[in-house]
Amino acid sequence: MEKEIMYRIHGVTKSYLVGKKAMPALKEINFDIRKNELVAILGTSGCGKSTLLRMLAGFLKPTTGAIYAQHQAITGPGADRGMVFQSYTLFPWLTVRENVEYGLKELKVPKAEREATVTRYLHDVGLDGFENAYPRELSGGMKQRVAIARALAINPDSLLLDEPFGALDAQTRSHMQEMMLDVWQKHPKTIVMVTHDIEEAIFMADRIVVMRAHPGSIKQVIDIDLPRDRDIHIKSDPRFIAYKEEILQLIYEESPAAQRQLMEA
């Protein structure tokens, strides 16, 4: 049952030039992302998650290797890959409605269709009634809802999320996760989500890519075999907890203390 491939990450390494020295950030990444699956990239801070995502977005070029989106090498950012950053990136001079409408205008969608699309997506992310607010009047969670609606409105093939809920409080975050899954079922897309929150990754993903650091590489890929109509209660399901323990163990092995024990043994 071979599924259609959305992204092929092939022999990708990435080094940053720091002064005159090349500092390796990612080494030898090989990975395929299937169409319409939700992949979570999980790892500690500094392991290269954002670097990988930014290469998928086309903001960065791999040092070696190549990334293909639907068999085409990625040469730069494009409207086929929507992006949501952890830092709120709404256009502050536009209202909520105008923010969501922005991409549709850039793509020259006719006015009547724009209005209908904006209204639909604002409804889907639960922002009815906030159309005319400016971003500075919104809470962090609401800003991210707008950012998600804005990215979805132009109907990209995939959505790249870099710790989208990382700045939110625990309660808001879990609402946002449910909302995101809900929206994703309504508008199927390939979603690649970077996170350092294990529960978030298990709750949302079809597959989790666990990263190791220094330099970043893939430690293990875990299929999350949980029913798709997930809600908050699944977090206390024994299978959920088993995944959590498995991943905790993987990440613990990467911690400096565990590394030292391994060396000494």
Partner 1 sequence: MKSMALSLGGEAFLPQGAIAKRPYTIIAIVAFALVLGGWFLMTNLGLVDPTFMPTPQATIKAAGALFSGSFVIDIWMSTYRVLAGFIISAIVAVPLGLFIGTYAPLNALIEPLMSFVRYLPATAFIPLFILWIGIDESEKIALIIMGSLPQLILMVAVDVRKVPHDLVEVSYTLGTKPSRVLWKIILPASMPYILDSLRMVLGWAWTYVVVAEMVGASSGIGYMMIQSQRMMNVSNIFVGLLAIGFLGLLFDCLFKLINKLCFGWSAQGR
Ligand X SMILES: Nc1ncnc2c1ncn2[C@@H]1O[C@H](COP(=O)(O)OP(=O)(O)O)[C@@H](O)[C@H]1O
User: What whole-number distance in Å separates Cα of residue 258 and Cα of residue 136?
Assistant: 44
User: What whole-number distance in Å separates Cα of residue 99 and Cα of residue 149?
Assistant: 9
Instruction: CB nearer to Mg ion: give 50 or 95.
Output: 50
Which positions touch ligand X (CB under 6 A)?
16, 18, 23, 25, 43, 45-51
To partner 1, the closest distance from the beta carbon of 104 in angstroms equals 9
| Binding flag, residue 87, partner 1 (CB under 8 A) | yes
Residues 6+ apart with CB under 8 A from 107: 79, 154
Of 20, 136, 228, 233, which lies in the binding site for partner 1, with binding defined by CB under 8 A?
A: 136
Query: Which entry of partner 1, Mg ion, ligand X, none binds 156, CB below 5 to 8 A by partner kind?
Result: partner 1
| Binding flag, residue 102, partner 1 (CB under 8 A) | yes
| Number of residues located near partner 1, criterion CB under 8 A | 28
Instruction: CB nearer to ligand X: give 45 or 259.
Output: 45
Cα dihedral 207, 205, 120, 134, rounded to 10, equals -120
| Binding flag, residue 204, partner 1 (CB under 8 A) | no
User: What whole-number distance in Å separates Cα of residue 156 and Cα of residue 177?
Assistant: 20
Fill in the per-residue mask, 32 to 71: x = in contact with partner 1 (CB under 8 A), - = not in contact: -------------------------xxx------------
Question: If 0-12 CB within 10 Å is exposed, 13-18 middle and 19+ buried, where does residue 234 land?
Answer: middle
Give the CA angle between residues 223, 205, 103 to the nearest 5°.
140
Q: Identify whether the C-beta of residue 48 lies closer than 8 Å to the C-beta of residue 25.
A: yes
Q: Identify whether the C-beta of residue 105 lies closer than 8 Å to the C-beta of residue 114.
A: yes
Query: Which entry of partner 1, Mg ion, ligand X, none binds 25, CB below 5 to 8 A by partner kind?
Result: ligand X
Applying CB under 8 A, the residues found at the interface with partner 1 are: 57-59, 76-79, 81-83, 85, 87, 89, 91-94, 102-103, 106-107, 134-136, 150-151, 154, 156
